[in-house]
Every structure is written in structure tokens, then in C-alpha cells.
Amino acid sequence: MEAFKKLTGIVAPVDRVNVDTDAIIPKQFLKRIERTGFGQFLFYEWRFDEEGRDNPAFEMNKPRYQGASVLISRANFGCGSSREHAPWAIMDYGFRVVIAPSFADIFYNNCFKNGILPLKLSEEQVEDLFQRTAAHEGYQLNVDLENNTLSDDYGLEIKFQLDEHRRQFLLLGLDDIGLTLQHADEIAAYEERHAAKLFA
């Protein structure tokens, strides 16, 4: 997993509450067994019309948001089913940061396991980000996980809070398996000792 330390990226808005995982990645696209390739189906029913053409009414389809790596949305983002494909689709599309006032617990945890930084900010702070994104074409945020700060070129500076264990997961680029493998030598030594006792 790629380590996350600092990112400067264009912000794209999805101005909706209760964005569930079926909206993030609809169930008909869950047939793949790899973690990649899901980005093309992200928000599929909102991004495309019935003929599969871009829906110009959907915010993310506007040219000003192309290449975005920071997603902002409203409360209870990632609710619904527990499918891990939702963060896979977000990551594969190119987002590394998702900002919302609140997240569904399972989705929130899955983000950290897949190299995505989910940031919980207050309703007022998120509204301010929506206003800034609308006011400045190509609006960018600077996300500094080493110093727990969020800033822009227009005077914004927010100090955010994050569980230190999860923060370290991202800073070191570790998932659960990677965390275990940090102790590979100790595990191997234990197995050797245990095997020796079994066959003594």
C-alpha cells in the first residue's frame, strides 16, 4: 500500500447526504476479484445517463473537477452495505482523501485499510469547503498528514484530529497484513521454537 504523508489536490464535491455504498459502486459491478478497475464505475448511476453518456448535471462530470484527488460530501458518507469495493472504487478513480462531517463505521475503517484518508470535519467546516470549491475553479487543498493540517491558498488552515494508530497505518503505507509482516522475524523465530518442541 502506498504511504500517505502529504497531498495537494483538486477538490470535487458530491453535495448529498447519506451517500451509500450502492451509489458509490452499484452491485452489478461487483463481479471482479481484483481491487482495480472499479473507478470507471464510481457513482455510475449519477455520472452516466441510460445510454452510458456523461450526465452533465452531476457535479463531478464538470471539467473543473477533472483530475480531482480530494472528495467532499455530506453527513453519513459510505452508509449501507459493508462492501469493501466502495473504497476500492474511490481509490481507483483517483481520490486519496474523502472529507465529510461523518462516515459509516465500516466504510471509515475500510478507507484506512486501502490507503484513503477519511477526514471528519464539522458541518460548518465542510460547508465552508463547498463554498470555496464553488468560488475557485480548480480549487485545491493541501493535506498534511504528518502535521494533521488542512490548508488552501486563500487563508484556510484547519487542524484535524485522527486516531494515532490509523494515522500511522497511512503514514507507513501499511494494511493489516503489512502490519503483521513488520514482525516477520519474530513470527518465524516463534514458529521455529514451537516446531522444535513438537518434534523433540
Cell of 190: 516463534
Q: Does domain 6-174 have CATH number 2.160.10.10?
A: no
Q: Which sequence spans correspond to the domains of the chain?
A: 6-174
Question: Per-residue pLDDT averaged across 89-114, rounded?
Answer: 96
- Contact 117/143 with Cβ under 8 angstroms? yes
User: pLDDT tens across 143-161, in order?
Assistant: 999 999 999 999 999 999 9
User: pLDDT tens across 61-98, in order?
Assistant: 999 999 999 999 999 999 998 889 999 999 999 999 99
Among 39-48, 81-90, 130-139, 182-191, the minimum mean pLDDT is found in: 182-191
Question: What is the C-alpha to C-alpha distance for residues 98 and 69, in angstroms, rounded to an integer?
Answer: 9
- Contact 43/24 with Cβ under 8 angstroms? yes
3-state secondary structure of 39: helix
- The answer, yes or no, to whether residue 181 has pLDDT greater than 50, is no
Length, in residues, of the chain: 200
- Which helix (DSSP H) or strand (DSSP E) does residue 177 occupy? helix 176-181
Question: What is the C-alpha to C-alpha distance for residues 70 and 89, in angstroms, rounded to an integer?
Answer: 14
- The answer, yes or no, to whether residue 136 has pLDDT greater than 60, is yes
Question: Per-residue pLDDT averaged across 26-44, rounded?
Answer: 90
> For residue 7, how many other CB atoms are within 10 A of its CB?
16
pTM: 0.87
pLDDT category, 32, cuts 50, 70, 90? confident
3-state secondary structure of 46: helix
Q: What pLDDT does residue 99 have?
A: 98
Cell of 83: 462492501
